[in-house]
Structure formats: structure tokens, C-alpha cells
């Protein structure tokens, strides 16, 4: 898949000029300093391409329902575009099956992150974009996240992180930087 963002009004203070290719089975790592525009880039890529995005934002769209209700709503709406086997596997591996009676507002940051990953990573899309997926995860859950990335081997996986020390997969790295008020690939 080819990705390109050319936007002089990307953020109020900078533009963007980035292009890259990623193939099925490949892990692409987009790295850059905090506040550089990585999450804005993720949203722009999501708007212009048929990909699945696991964003940094909270799951407020579900209001304050319990996890089991969120799971049922998600499964009912996604049944035709979901890899149910992988969804069920990681629902259990992230221990969400033991927390289904809890409400979204009572989840820790790591628990909320694991929920978002399960809700976005197993949709039948050619490309999965994970924006800071290790955020709030302990070492054990980062290992589960690595296993999940292995199970997505038939997809292109784009990971946006500023610290990728947890990632155990070979990844093609693109370093992002700002030059002349434009977000670009570092040369």
C-alpha cells in the first residue's frame, strides 16, 4: 500500500509532506519526538485510506457502558468484517473476559488500551495502524501485544511510537522530523 500526506495546513503551525510504502506482512515503525504530529498523521492516514486505526484517544464513544455491553455492540456491528477467532483469543489474553462486568470509567489506562486494541486490530483491513499501542501497558501485556503483531502477519502493520524498545519484530523504521515548518521523513 502507498501512503502519502501532502498538506500545507496539516497542523496550525506546520504542514506535512510524507510518503511511504508498506506491504502485507511488513511492520512499519513511524518514530518521532512527542508533539511532532504523529497522532495527527495517523488520523490523516485513516481519513484518506481504508485502514483500521487504534488511536490514542479514549473510548468515550461508548459512553460509560460495561465492557460486556461494548463487546456485544462491537460484535453485532462488525460480524462481517471481523476475525472473530483472533478477537476472542486476545480478548482472553488481555484478560478482558475477566473484566466484562466493569464499566469503562473504572478501567485503568492499560485496561482501556487493551480494549481499544481488541476493538480495532482484528477488523478485516489490509493495513492496521496502531498509534502508541504500548501506552500504559505493563511488560507482560507488551509481550501479548508482540504476539498480537505476529498474528497479524498477513496484514501491513504501521506502528506510531516515540519509544519502541518493547517491539520485538523486525520493523522498517521511518524517523519523522520537522524541517522548515513541515513534518517530513528524516533524511
Average pLDDT over residues 46-52: 89
Instruction: Give the model's confidence band at 38: pLDDT under 50 very low, under 70 low, under 90 confident, else very high.
Output: very high
Tens digits of per-residue pLDDT, 89-142? 999 999 999 999 999 888 899 999 999 999 889 998 999 999 999 999 999 999
Using a pLDDT cut of 90, give the percent of the chain over it.
74
CATH architecture of 2-57+64-185: 3-Layer(aba) Sandwich (3.40)
Report the run of H or E that residue 14 belongs to, with start and end. none
If pLDDT is split at 50, 70 and 90, which confidence band does 64 have? confident
The residue extents of the domains of the chain are 2-57+64-185
Q: What is the pTM of this model?
A: 0.92
Amino acid at each position: 500500500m502507498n501512503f502519502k500526506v501532502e498538506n500545507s495546513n496539516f497542523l496550525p503551525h506546520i504542514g506535512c509532506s510524507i510518503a511511504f510504502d508498506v506491504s502485507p506482512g511488513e511492520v512499519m515503525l513511524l518514530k518521532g519526538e512527542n508533539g511532532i504530529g504523529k497522532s495527527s498523521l495517523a488520523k490523516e492516514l485513516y481519513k484518506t485510506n481504508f485502514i483500521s486505526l487504534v488511536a490514542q484517544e479514549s473510548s468515550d464513544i461508548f459512553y460509560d457502558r460495561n465492557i460486556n455491553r461494548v463487546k456485544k455492540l462491537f460484535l453485532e456491528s462488525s460480524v462481517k468484517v471481523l476475525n472473530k477467532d483472533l478477537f476472542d483469543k486476545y480478548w482472553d489474553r488481555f484478560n478482558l473476559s475477566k473484566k466484562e462486568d466493569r464499566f469503562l470509567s473504572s478501567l485503568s489506562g492499560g485496561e482501556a488500551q487493551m480494549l481499544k486494541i481488541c476493538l480495532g486490530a482484528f477488523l478485516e483491513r489490509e493495513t492496521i495502524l496502531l498509534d502508541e499501542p504500548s501506552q500504559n501497558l505493563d511488560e507482560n501485556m507488551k509481550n501479548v501485544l508482540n504476539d498480537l503483531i505476529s498474528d497479524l502477519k498477513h496484514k501491513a502493520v504501521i506502528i506510531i511510537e516515540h519509544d519502541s524498545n518493547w517491539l520485538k519484530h523486525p520493523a522498517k523504521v521511518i524517523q519523522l522530523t520537522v524541517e522548515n515548518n513541515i513534518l517530513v521523513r528524516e533524511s
